[in-house]
Amino acid sequence: MREQYMRTGEGFLLVFSVTDRGSFEEIYKFQRQILRVKDRDEFPMILIGNKADLDHQRQVTQEEGQQLARQLKVTYMEASAKIRMNVDQAFHELVRVI
């Protein structure tokens, strides 16, 4: 089912929780899967570190997020769905790169 959505998507938000290192470590796998399904070397994606409002529970630093974004050649943003920080901006940025 996931690959069906990947086939039809025109851009993707790669979202991980800054409070969950495991979700961060899965991002590379998802990015590779998208590129494989799309049969492309690059595709519009934005890396989002979510739950940025929970700084005291942070397991992934901003620098680590930025470093992964550089490796994946995508934009990095931190957001918080709870307090609506950068949520709209993330979608606007994705539309811009599409």
Which domains are present in the chain? 2-97 (3.40.50.300)
Tokens of 60: 């992934």
Cα(75)–Cα(90) distance, integer angstroms:
10
Give the pLDDT score at 48.
Answer: 99
Q: Give the bridge partners for 85, in sequence order.
A: 80
Angle at 97 between CA 96 and CA 98, to 5 degrees: 90
Per-residue pLDDT of 81-91, as tens digits, reads: 999 999 999 99
Intervals of the chain under pLDDT 70: 1
Q: Is the pTM of this model over 0.75?
A: yes
- The torsion defined by the Cα of 46, 69, 82 and 90, in degrees rounded to 10, comes to -30
